[in-house]
Amino acid sequence: MVKIGNIEIGEFPLLLAPMEDITDPPFRKICKNFGVDMMFTEFISSEGLIRDALKSTRKLKIVEEERPMGIQIFGHDIDSMKKAAALAEAAKPDIIDINFGCPVRKVVNKGAGAALLKDIPKMIEMTREIVKSTSLPVTVKTRLGWDEKSKVIVDIAERLQDTGIQAITIHGRTRAQVYSGKADWTLIGEVKKNPRIKIPVFGNGDIDGPVRALEVKEKYGVDGIMIGRASIGNPWIFQQIKEFLNNGILLPAPDIFERIRICKKHLLMSVEMKGGKTGILEMRKHYSGYFKGIRNFKSFKIALLQATSLIETEDILNNIEQTYKNLGN
């Protein structure tokens, strides 16, 4: 049983990666129903929390059904990160996670996220101070290094463990790669095989289905995997991976009607939580995933992306359902 501190999260846990405007409560609820073992909030700016910015503070909300649940924070200033950790702890998550991996320019240019990979002493000091400031288990998500010339994750992982963190998640790319090229799991495996590493090591990057999940489990020995982009509009991936790892069964992809059913459920929760305008806009990021691989779908996708109200979107989804029923699919 894998533990983060005293929190049990499964034999080979599947983690949902924190993603801006994606891993909100509606999507988390759906993923939980399909078997994810641990989830995180969207990543939250330390400065936003301290300023009591609405966009940041609303991300703190956690419901009991989501547990075990982590709040992920990012920032460039150590004191601000300590204050943000305290505010996050007050929201009663199970874990505080530090983002040292976000490659997005607007985050990196502020000296946060993956930018800390260029200042390892500051990364270590920030982590140590946050660990000291909270009674909750602290975990870290990071990358292999800043670029090809500085893949220092094996050394960093040891130093981070020495600060008192309880687990580490490693994305198999450098910051310079952002999301291009293939994720390299070799160094993730080296971290796991390092006899000095006693904390759980989770791998992240290019897990697109059950076969790849089994491959990295067996080849690199990680304690679990974190899935990000492949889950967008595709919550079934967690169920499919678990069924394959536990029973050797490759579940078929959901048919069009199951996709519509879950998409409608997701849509209603999104609108209920965020209001019509924001709920509709943020759902647009999920449609490509929900309807990936469905033939003759282009015109429907365009209509969904152009819809501006709940009624209009539901009408389009109902039309899609009826069309494919008529086609016998």
Catalytic residues: 102
H or E stretch at 251: none
Q: Which residue has the tokens 């994750």?
A: 153
**Going by DSSP bridges, is the β-strand pair 3-4/7-8 parallel, antiparallel, or unpaired?**
antiparallel
CA distance 305 to 237: 23
Q: Torsion angle, CA of 105/147/80/138, rounded to 10 degrees?
A: 120
User: Which residues, listed in sequence order, are joined to residue 71 by a DSSP beta bridge?
Assistant: 96
Closest CA to 80 of 110, 119, 35: 110
Q: How many CB atoms lie within 10 A of CB 21?
A: 12
CA 120 to chain CA mean position, Å: 24
Burial of 307 (0-12, 13-18, 19+ CB in 10 A): buried
Give which of 79, 28, 69, 49 is closest to 266, Cα–Cα.
28
CB 175 within 8 A of CB 181: no
Q: How many CB atoms lie within 10 A of CB 91?
A: 16
Contact indicator for 191, 153 with CB cutoff of 8 Å: yes
- Give CA–CA dist 167/63, Å, rounded: 23
- Asked whether 99 and 76 are in contact (CB, 8 A), the reply is no
- Distance, in Å, from the CA atom of 234 to the CA atom of 208, rounded to the nearest integer, reads 10
* Amino acid (one-letter) located at 269: M
For residues 128 and 214, give the distance between their C-alpha atoms in angstroms, rounded to a whole number. 34
